[in-house]
Structure 1
Amino acid sequence: MEVFVMKVFVTGVTGFVGGEFTKKLLQEGHEVISVVRNIEKAEAQFSKSSTITFLTGDLHEPSFGLSNKKLHDLMNGPIDAMYHIAGQVQFGLEYSEYLKTNYSGTKNALDLAKLLEIKNFKYVSTAFTLGLSNSIGKEELYSKETNFNNAYEKSKCMAEHLVMSYSTYFSVSIYRPSVIIGDSKTGEANSDFTLNSFIKIIRLIKKLSESKNESFRFIAPRSSTVNVVPVDYVVAVLFAGLEDDENQTIYHITNSHPPSYRKSIRLITDMLNFDQFTIVNDLKIESMNQSETLFYDKISTLKNYLVRQLTFHNENTIKLLSCSNLKELDVSDEILSTIIHARIPTKLTTEKV
């Protein structure tokens, strides 16, 4: 069977999702173009593949700062699609920083796609643009006036509206992953992703609690869930959209059966040999000990992703996957354990620290 080779422009190739997605494109024989700040770093990540072209540029600049000659060269070879994956995901920054990258950077990507006459624009956003007011996520645009958990979510929502406004120039689609974790088979993941940070904090609290010989209390309402999705599932959905997604359509890359927060805590603490704790539904600030105060301060930016019960509709995604004879991934306890285990040093699973 002859494979139709596509030329795909991808932003964020040196990031977690962008990197894994680009590897998938290359494995399937497609050509990739990407603008990066450091070409040497990018080439090292992809072993100087002959089917990927790196251009030095900056998404904060109009046309990504590419010269007229580079733009002319890009116009000579039709580009089938642009995946805009690059974005500012670090929590705790000023709103202006998120707008600069997640909104203005997206506008620069859209304008470049328009200039290069790219027919398909695919934007990777987040499932959490639903904000704090909603507990049910729908595959549709949310109001820009929603009460958001943080400036990051707001900037992504603003960008989603911007992307949809360009649908008169080319086909646009939006992908919304929830909390992205490691590979479902190997557990491998970028060291900066959310779960890794959470595990590091619990390791710190374990040491502190044991040194003080005091029990730690995790606040975990019985109904709270953690909507996590393995990175390989995110990549599978993005790849399915290369040929089969539809204009002005939003796709949730979420977990229909998310693990409870309590289960996640027990899996992590079991692997860390951390047993000096209890799980409670609530805890008053004035009754917290030193370890608890430190822990809840450090996870303050993650709190609303851990103690909520959210339901995400994903009918569009299921339909998209069916075009490739794929089904949505069920994140079993075994898969979750594999991913968590990969983030914990071996010695911590076999001995006390």
Structure 2
Amino acid sequence: MNIFLTGATGFLGGKLVRGLAEQGHTLYILARNMNKASELLASIDTNDASIHIVQGDITRENLGLSSEQLEDLTGEVDVFYHMAALVKFDANLHEELHQINFEGTRHALETAKLVQTKRFLYVSTAYTLGTREFGEEMLYPITGPFNNPYEESKCKAEHLVFQYEKHFEVLILRPAIIIGDSETGEADSQFTMYGLMRSLEVFKKKMERKQKGSQVFRLLCEPDSTQNLVPVDYVANVLHEAIVFGEDGAIYNITSSTPPNSIIALTIICERLGIDNITAAPFEDEHRLTGEERSLNDMISVYRNYLTRNIQFINKNTAAMLKQAGKQVLKMDDDMLKRIVRGYEKSVK
């Protein structure tokens, strides 16, 4: 099968590419950074696969491909994965997020149409639901409301994808919070859980320098909130199975049915980092925080909306697809989370 991929040099993309290569598919990998593409290629056993690196950029029309390249690809692409995205939650990045996540998706769709792709798989996020507390496998209104411009840009891109149904089959795959490998803990990410861990580590060192390592600090977190964490290998597996078993026009929530409680997850993280002076406190305590506690909570403010909620995600479509493939949905437990957290050092090298 001939497969074109954007975002293949990223955390999730690299895992997916390795699996596809092992099955002997012909891969066309769009890469802006050729050094990263070369590193990815060097890490893959290509004995049974044919891998072509195509230099380009999702922010450019036709992904920056020449007319000759487009002609060579026309009629040759069975599956088009669009994974490339900017994963940042800062409000001041609204325009940049729109350009990469929305306009970049438009460029990918137009290119897929030009080369007569048969099937387009868009990797979105489970958090296009915005401020809702119930996540369904359906399109959400583009009016939100959203917690940040990242969620908004991805939701608008989902609506755009479905405007191309007359040109090729479309599927939307929505991972929750992607973390390391479920068995090895290995990761290659500086975002989401790893960004939180890095901030906690920085705060710890700052307090040690001030000789306040024994003082207890409060981190705001609702006691009943949960963290919908999904290992990268599980997400890559779902994306892989969608080639054969995914249904045209379907949306798949790649989420955990047993997400860990936020305080339990925080406890596991702090134990791994050797932090014993940070404790969770409900948001009703916010007005009583000390200056240093405010500094701690400001450091992780972009994660605030993910520490207050217990979102219930429906993943019936994903479960049905995996059943067809003879596989099961994710069952996250504390032992798996501990294995993944132990891989933190690998993610920050």
TM-score range, shorter chain: over 0.9
CA contact (8 A) 2:219 2:297 kept: no
Distance 2:326 2:147 in 1: 36
Q: What CA deviation, in whole Å up to 9, does each residue of 1:159-200 have, x standing for no partner?
A: 000001111111000000000000000001113131111111
Moved more, 35-44 or 261-270: 35-44
Runs of 4+ in structure 1 off by over 6 angstroms are none
Q: 1:94 to 1:201 in 2, by over 3 A?
A: closer
34, 38, 42: which one aligns with 1:43 = 38
Distance 1:139 1:306 in 2: 23
CA contact (8 A) 1:135 1:311 kept: yes
Alignment of 1:83-162 (within 5 A): 83-92=81-90, 93-132=92-131, 134-162=132-160
Give RMSD over aligned pairs: 1.6
Q: Which residue of 1 aligns with 2:12?
A: 17
Secondary structure of the residue aligned to 2:276 is coil
Q: How many angstroms does 1:329 deviate by? A: 1.2
CA contact (8 A) 1:208 1:291 kept: no
172, 175, 178: which one aligns with 1:177 = 175
CA contact (8 A) 1:181 1:193 kept: no
Amino acid at match of 1:56: Q
1:34 aligns with 2:29: yes
Q: How many angstroms does 1:344 deviate by? A: 4.6
Amino acid at match of 1:123: Y
> What is the TM-score of this pair, normalised by structure 1?
0.92
Q: Which residue of 1 aligns with 2:265?
A: 264
Q: 1:59 to 1:297 in 2, by over 3 A?
A: same
Which blocks of at least 5 consecutive residues in structure 1 are unaligned? 1-5, 346-353
Q: Which residue of 1 aligns with 2:242?
A: 241
Secondary structure of the residue aligned to 1:59 is coil
CA contact (8 A) 1:180 1:193 kept: no
Q: What CA deviation, in whole Å up to 9, does each residue of 1:9-35 have, x standing for no partner?
A: 010111111111111110121111022
Q: How many angstroms does 1:43 deviate by? A: 1.8
Q: How many angstroms does 1:219 deviate by? A: 2.1
Secondary structure of the residue aligned to 2:235 is helix
Distance 2:169 2:41 in 1: 29
> What is the TM-score of this pair, normalised by structure 2?
0.93
Distance 1:32 1:40 in 2: 18
CA contact (8 A) 2:82 2:123 kept: yes
Identity within the alignment, %: 39
Q: 1:278 to 1:65 in 2, by over 3 A?
A: closer
Q: Which residue of 2 aligns with 1:198?
A: 196
Distance 2:35 2:274 in 1: 41
CA contact (8 A) 2:121 2:170 kept: yes
Q: Which residue of 2 aligns with 1:68?
A: 67
Q: How many angstroms does 1:283 deviate by? A: 4.7
Distance 1:60 1:178 in 2: 25
Q: How many angstroms does 1:278 deviate by? A: 3.2
Distance 1:283 1:205 in 2: 22
Q: What CA deviation, in whole Å up to 9, does each residue of 1:295-348 have, x standing for no partner?
A: 211111111122211000000000111111000011111110011111159xxx
Q: Which residue of 2 aligns with 1:168?
A: 166
Distance 2:218 2:29 in 1: 47
Q: Which residue of 2 aligns with 1:350?
A: none
1:330 aligns with 2:331: yes
Q: Which residue of 2 aligns with 1:314?
A: 315
Q: What CA deviation, in whole Å up to 9, does each residue of 1:253-312 have, x standing for no partner?
A: 001110000101111122233222433223544422233111211111111122211000
Q: Which residue of 1 aligns with 2:301?
A: 300
CA contact (8 A) 2:219 2:296 kept: no
Secondary structure of the residue aligned to 1:160 is helix
Secondary structure of the residue aligned to 1:221 is coil
Secondary structure of the residue aligned to 2:302 is coil
Amino acid at match of 1:145: T
Q: Which residue of 2 aligns with 1:223?
A: 224
Distance 1:273 1:57 in 2: 43
Distance 2:55 2:290 in 1: 51
Secondary structure of the residue aligned to 2:305 is helix
Amino acid at match of 2:9: T
Amino acid at match of 1:43: S
